[in-house]
Structure 1
Amino acid sequence: MSVAPPEQTPQPPRPSPVRRILDAALRVAGGLIAVVAGTVTAVLELLLAPLRIGGYPIGVAVLVAVVANAALSWFAIETVGSRWAVALPALPWVVIMVAAADRTSEGDVLLIGNWVGFVLVVVGAMTFAVMAFRSILAAQPPRRY
């Protein structure tokens, strides 16, 4: 009695070295763009935090933080191709927010001390955390290379 060999699935062809180098370069560029964009959006949110209408703070910086941080997290994960990439825009954002809450030697504070500043930091950080958690729960796509 003869046993048939197991069927083997054909393996996709390996990409050329040039294509692999180009892919790695694009991933690094995407990561750098995510870091720079995280820095820029943090500064933009700090500039929008004291915005008031009729003397009352309106909190538009909080909305910008949610939308921008979610978009940056998605961009970083997609361009770098790894779940940990959500940390690329999150780290400079958190560092800037922590630094903005500290008084300078002259007594200036960049992050205003009302509800907008508090909610901005909490909601912005939570947006990164939720996006990281969602990427952990998502099925890992198969590696192309």
Structure 2
Amino acid sequence: MTLEAPSVSSTAEQLPPAPPGRALELTFRIAGVLIAVLATVLTAALEIFLTPLRLGGVPVGVAVVLAVLANVALCWFAVTTVGRRWALAVPWAVWTLIMFFAAGMRTTEGDYLISGEDWVALVMILLGSLTFAGYTYRMILQRPPVTKQ
């Protein structure tokens, strides 16, 4: 009785396809964080530029609404693409730092990007940061899904 080794082609046909590698998963997570940071920078800049918007001399709070909606979307995107709750902290930190710099740095003419007398900008900073905090609190209250081992 002779034993023959199975051919390579018959063995390959029997094996299930290999799952995506850990490197691919890590690449997607890093790309998710980078896209979230880029989107944070863009939305924060847009919010800052919309704070002085007025219609007929009356301030319009479009920047406040945009800050809340964009920050919720940023939170969701970061947590969903990275798959970890800590990913929420990255856009929150970037957004907060941008707002600190915009409120504390002067232009070459001596003006602040966000002045202390602009109620729209102050409410935008408050509600924008509270949006991140509220989303974080909501994530803390959610129980992680139970996985079978």
User: Common fold, TM-score beyond 0.5?
Assistant: yes
RMSD of aligned Cα (Å): 2.0
Equivalent positions of 1:44-59 (< 5 A) are 44-59=46-61
Question: Offset of 1:103 from its aligned partner?
Answer: 3.9
* Residue identity opposite 2:44 in structure 1: A
- Correspondent of 1:127 among 111, 114, 131: 131
1:31 and 2:33 matched: yes
Q: TM-score, normalised by structure 1?
A: 0.82
Paired position in structure 2 for 1:5: none
Distance in 2, Cα, partners of 1:84 & 1:131: 12
Partner of 2:111: 108
Moved more, 101-110 or 36-45: 101-110
Structure 2 stretches lacking a partner, 5+ long: 1-16
> Residues 1-145 of structure 1 correspond to what in structure 2 (within 5 A)?
18-104=20-106, 106-112=109-115, 113-141=117-145
Any idea what the Cα deviations from partners look like across 1:63-82, whole Å, max 9, x if unmatched? 00000000000110111111
Task: Flag as ranges the 4+ runs of structure 1 deviating above 3 A.
Answer: 15-18, 141-144
The alpha-carbon deviation at position 106 of structure 1 amounts to: 4.0
- Between Structure 1 and Structure 2, whose CA radius of gyration is higher? 2
SS of structure 1 residue aligned to 2:52: coil
Q: Offset at 1:16?
A: 5.0
How many residues of Structure 1 are paired with residues of Structure 2 in the alignment?
130
Q: Percent identity?
A: 49
CA distance in 2, matches of 1:19, 1:103: 45
* Deviations, residues 103-127 of structure 1 (Å, cap 9, x unaligned): 4264211114321011000000000
CA distance 1:24–1:141, change in 2 (3 Å): farther
- How far off is 1:60 after superposition? 0.2
Looking at structure 1, the residues matched to 138 and 80 of structure 2 have their Cα atoms a distance apart, in angstroms, of 13
TM-score (norm 2): 0.80
